[in-house]
Amino acid sequence: MTAGREVEDALVAFVQYQLQARSLEESLKETEDAVELVQAQYRGGLVDFNRVITTQSQLVIQQDQLASARGNVAVSLIAVYRALGGGWQSFACRPPPPACTETMLQTPIP
């Protein structure tokens, strides 16, 4: 039951972080549009530079939040994989595969 709960929790987190990232992407696009608008207004003399700085700082905050959300998506996907029984230890103990040689390439497959 614990394993099932871990899988479900990891899947829920994965989906929630994906939704959060999608929402932040939309918000980021809108903030980018706002920055362009405020810069045009500043060039036209309609607003002061404080408005430009404030809008640009909001853009940086949005970009940081999106990067964090994307990182959380990756971490939660790893948690899903781990909860389902995946792991890297088994790969670390295996010997590396043999190198592909010219004779191996010329050997016909039965």
Residue 108's pLDDT is: 58
Specify the length of the chain in residues: 110
Q: What is the pLDDT of residues 27-67, one digit of tens each?
A: 999 999 999 999 999 999 999 999 999 999 999 999 999 99
Average of pLDDT values for 11-28? 94
pTM above 0.75, yes or no: no
Per the structure, the count of domains in the chain is 1
CB 69 within 8 A of CB 19: no
Q: What is the DSSP string of 24-65?
A: HHHHHHHHHHHHHHHHHHHHTTSS-HHHHHHHHHHHHHHHHH
- Residue 58: which domain range? 2-106
